[in-house]
Amino acid sequence: MEENSVEIQKKRNSGLTVVLIVVNVFLALLYANVTDNSEDQTYINYVWLAGSLTFLLGGFAFTYMAKITGGENGYLPSR
């Protein structure tokens, strides 16, 4: 019973993380397009957006992989 509760909590947290990443990317896109910037500044905003998206998705993938493989505290298990 407790194992099912832990699994449900992990799925809920994983889903919440994905939602927060999507909201973060949406807000960054909104900022990049709403502000009155020159063309060069808009391109710089897109570079920042791409870097932050890569960082967030990479962090999510790394922690998700640790959860699947049984790592503790977000770290991959040692062999």
Residue 9: pLDDT band with limits 50, 70, 90: confident
Q: Which of 9, 27, 24, 16 is nearest to 54 (CA)?
A: 24
Q: What are the b/e assignments for 17-43, b being 16+ CB within 10 Å?
A: eeeebeeeeeebeeebeeeeeeeeeee
Segment 17-54, tens digit of pLDDT: 888 888 888 888 887 778 777 888 888 888 888 888 88
Q: Record the pTM.
A: 0.61
